[in-house]
Chain A
Amino acid sequence: MAEPIVELQSVYKSYYRGQLEIPVLYNINLTFTEGQFVALMGPSGSGKTTLLNLIAGIDRPSDGRLVVAGQDISRLSEGDMARWRANHIGFIFQFYNLMPVLNAFENVELPLLLTRLSRSERRRQVETALGIVGLGDRMGHYPNQLSGGQEQRVAIARAIVTDPTLLLADEPTGDLDRHSADSIMDLLSRLNNEFGKTIIMVTHDPRAAEAARTVQHLEKGELVSS
């Protein structure tokens, strides 16, 4: 049996708008194991991003238990949470969110600045990551000199460069044309197949979901079995 890598028990999440409590996730129980490639699907507003953010440790549950990469992250302090994210999470955003003032190399290097790696070790890892995403020849390009698909590849390289326990992606192809979207999905599949990366991906796109081996549906804040 593969190790459980994400475990949610009775997770509840609500936001407050003034006095008004807006429940977003109800009684979520789920387990993902190492090496899984999961697609989280569901209508807009069903709470997919919220769930992903909880797993990523960038948001906190209102109630329930959340064990990710062997750590009960609902109990960590802000500082410990940041360190934990740096070690275990690679996050891929819908809009790439690269730093516009840094070129591809520097963007990928960014998370490594938090490590003790030497300059040459960092260089080697960045080159490896950019090689995997197929952008070894674009290292000096700035985000505004890259296509959307290329930007997302850089973002993926940034997410994998620290070799995190878990790759999380929120609609990684949501802003791309069909062709670019397909090649990004191929890339994620390869990361899962060849490199054994555990991936949890939010998506609206049925074709993207095909690439995943597990699909979870969310509806109005609740998991529905499919």
Chain B
Amino acid sequence: MRLLKIIYRNTLRHWLRTSLTVLGLAIAVVAFIVIRTTIDAWYAQSEAASPDRLITRHAVSLTFFLPLAYENRIQDVEGVKAVSHATWFGGVYVEPKNFFANFAIDHTKYLDLYPEFVLEPAERDAFMQERNAAIVGRNLADRFGWQVGDRITLTGTIFPGDWELVIRGIYTGAKENTDESTMMFRWDYIDERLRREVPARAGYVGTFVVQVDDPQEAAVVSEKIDALFQNSLAETKTETEEAFNLSFVAMAGSIVLGLKAISILVIGIFMLVLGNTMAMTARERVSEYAVMKTLGFRPLHIVGLIFGESLFIAALGGALGIALSFPLGGLVKTMLSNFFPVYTIAFWTVVFAGLIAFVVGLLAAVFPTVKAVRTSIVDGLRIID
């Protein structure tokens, strides 16, 4: 179209206003992408789950423990391939703000059920041999500068006392969304000391991890397991690992909802910023549009001019925002790495942000266009600037 030059020059006419508008749009786009990515990161933990794994826990609450003796009975349930266990330890490293997830696990089988935690065979052997050995994720090791052989002390919150551990392995994730910021050590190390100091608490675990033969049968197997312990002192609740993880997300549901609301609000701000600029622009150019109409340009040409300018500014803001969201997302990733092991800007989030910029660009042009087209030439010319 031959009017492209006019669109381009009109856009740059008030360069300060255009720059501020583009910057405002870019900030809105960055905010949108970062918020969406944070929500994704929240869910990523549950998406990393394997469909053939079930989690069995105490029916009342996660804070209650289950007798280790359940393990053999679960193993005997039809459709169960393997059983292991993990217990949320809640240990603090030096001070509470150093938070990271740490579990006491069944060192004999747990890692077989989690092939996504990749460990050197030698490191795995070391973990098997030493009772107070621990393995940590790559991210976590980097965060504290830990190396194999380092000795660290966790202060127990659920299990009182200081617990000496020695790092014998650093695992990496097999998949992109594998959590690399967890610490695992041996349950038998904890249990042995409990047996001496608080015998009543010995022999209990937090959750059982159950591997099923056929993911299709997950629901059936879950029911069978829970039926097994019905009316016992510690009834169980079994669900897929994904559902189990999602229940944590649900606990933070209101936060996620808040974030979603903000992300929509951000789109509204985008809309207002651009709408305001376009309204100002169109008001200033009433007489120019009247002149163009006098020369024989038709409403469609005016529509093209205003939509073109609006879309151009929206595209600049959208592109700048998307470009900025990667370094900024990287910054957020490092800042929140304790909470979100996986923090990646999804392709679709970017596409979505681009699409929003496009749609808002269209919407912002509607009102000024209707006004410009409806204003008669005579009225447009009577306005002297």
Q: Do A and B come from one complex?
A: yes
A residues near B (Cβ < 8 Å) are: 53, 56, 58-59, 78-79, 82-83, 85-87, 89, 91, 93, 95, 97, 99-102, 106, 110-111, 113-114, 158
Chain B contacts for A101, CB-based, 8 A: 6, 9-10, 13
B159 at the interface (CB under 8 A from A): no
A58 touches B297 (CB 8 A): no
Q: Given A97-B291, A102-B6, is A59 in contact with B377 using a C-beta cutoff of 8 Å?
A: yes
B371 at the interface (CB under 8 A from A): no
Measured in the bound complex, the distance between the Cα atoms of B9 and A99 in whole Å is 11
Chain B contacts for A91, CB-based, 8 A: 294-295
B10 touches A86 (CB 8 A): no
Known: A87-B296, A99-B292. 15 other contacts (CB 8 A): A56-B294, A58-B381, A82-B297, A82-B298, A83-B296, A85-B296, A89-B294, A91-B294, A93-B381, A97-B291, A101-B9, A102-B5, A106-B5, A110-B292, A111-B295
Chain B at the A interface: SS class: helix
Could you tell me the distance in whole angstroms from the C-beta of B17 to the nearest C-beta in chain A? Answer: 14
B295 touches A85 (CB 8 A): yes
B261 at the interface (CB under 8 A from A): no
Would you list which residues of chain B between 246 and 270 have a CB under 8 Å from chain A? none
Measured in the bound complex, the distance between the Cα atoms of B294 and A14 in whole Å is 21
Measured in the bound complex, the distance between the Cα atoms of B10 and A81 in whole Å is 27
Q: Given A97-B287, A101-B10, is A53 in contact with B298 using a C-beta cutoff of 8 Å?
A: no
Measured in the bound complex, the distance between the Cα atoms of B295 and A91 in whole Å is 8
Q: Given A101-B6, A102-B6, is A111 in contact with B378 using a C-beta cutoff of 8 Å?
A: no
B200 at the interface (CB under 8 A from A): no
Could you tell me the distance in whole angstroms from the C-beta of B3 to the nearest C-beta in chain A? Answer: 7
11 A-B Cβ contacts within 8 A? Answer: A56-B294, A59-B377, A82-B298, A95-B384, A97-B291, A99-B288, A101-B9, A106-B5, A111-B295, A114-B295, A114-B297
Chain A contacts for B298, CB-based, 8 A: 78-79, 82-83
**Who on chain B is nearest to A59 by CB?**
B378
Measured in the bound complex, the distance between the Cα atoms of B221 and A121 in whole Å is 82
Residue among A85, A87, A113 with the highest chain B CB neighbour number at 10 A? A113
Cβ contacts B1-39/A at 8 Å (1 or 0 each): 011011001100100000000000000000000000000
Measured in the bound complex, the distance between the Cα atoms of B125 and A48 in whole Å is 102
Could you tell me the distance in whole angstroms from the C-beta of B104 to the nearest C-beta in chain A? Answer: 71
Could you tell me the distance in whole angstroms from the C-beta of B250 to the nearest C-beta in chain A? Answer: 55
Chain B contacts for A113, CB-based, 8 A: 2-3
Residue among A79, A85, A89, A102 with the highest chain B CB neighbour number at 10 A? A85
Chain B contacts for A106, CB-based, 8 A: 5
Measured in the bound complex, the distance between the Cα atoms of B288 and A97 in whole Å is 7
A82 touches B293 (CB 8 A): yes
**Who on chain A is nearest to B12 by CB?**
A101
**Who on chain B is nearest to A115 by CB?**
B296
Measured in the bound complex, the distance between the Cα atoms of B298 and A78 in whole Å is 9
Could you tell me the distance in whole angstroms from the C-beta of A140 to the nearest C-beta in chain B? Answer: 14
Measured in the bound complex, the distance between the Cα atoms of B29 and A125 in whole Å is 47
A58 touches B13 (CB 8 A): no
Chain A contacts for B381, CB-based, 8 A: 58, 93, 97
Chain B contacts for A53, CB-based, 8 A: 377-378
**Who on chain B is nearest to A170 by CB?**
B381
Measured in the bound complex, the distance between the Cα atoms of B305 and A110 in whole Å is 14
Q: Given A95-B384, A97-B287, is A110 in contact with B5 using a C-beta cutoff of 8 Å?
A: no
A58 touches B378 (CB 8 A): yes
Measured in the bound complex, the distance between the Cα atoms of B288 and A91 in whole Å is 14
Chain B contacts for A82, CB-based, 8 A: 293, 296-298
Cβ contacts B45-71/A at 8 Å (1 or 0 each): 000000000000000000000000000
Could you tell me the distance in whole angstroms from the C-beta of B125 to the nearest C-beta in chain A? Answer: 75
Chain A contacts for B377, CB-based, 8 A: 53, 58-59
Measured in the bound complex, the distance between the Cα atoms of B9 and A188 in whole Å is 32
Residue among B3, B9, B376, B377 with the highest chain A CB neighbour number at 10 A? B377
Residue among B6, B287, B291 with the highest chain A CB neighbour number at 10 A? B291
Measured in the bound complex, the distance between the Cα atoms of B278 and A163 in whole Å is 35
Chain B contacts for A78, CB-based, 8 A: 298-299
Could you tell me the distance in whole angstroms from the C-beta of A145 to the nearest C-beta in chain B? Answer: 15
B294 touches A58 (CB 8 A): yes
A-B interface, 7 closest residue pairs, ranked by CB to CB distance from nearest: A86-B296, A101-B9, A58-B377, A97-B291, A113-B2, A111-B295, A85-B296
A111 touches B287 (CB 8 A): no
Q: Given A53-B378, A95-B384, A101-B6, is A110 in contact with B295 using a C-beta cutoff of 8 Å?
A: yes
Could you tell me the distance in whole angstroms from the C-beta of A10 to the nearest C-beta in chain B? Answer: 21
Measured in the bound complex, the distance between the Cα atoms of B293 and A56 in whole Å is 12
**Who on chain B is nearest to A58 by CB?**
B377
**Who on chain A is nearest to B377 by CB?**
A58
**Who on chain A is nearest to B384 by CB?**
A95
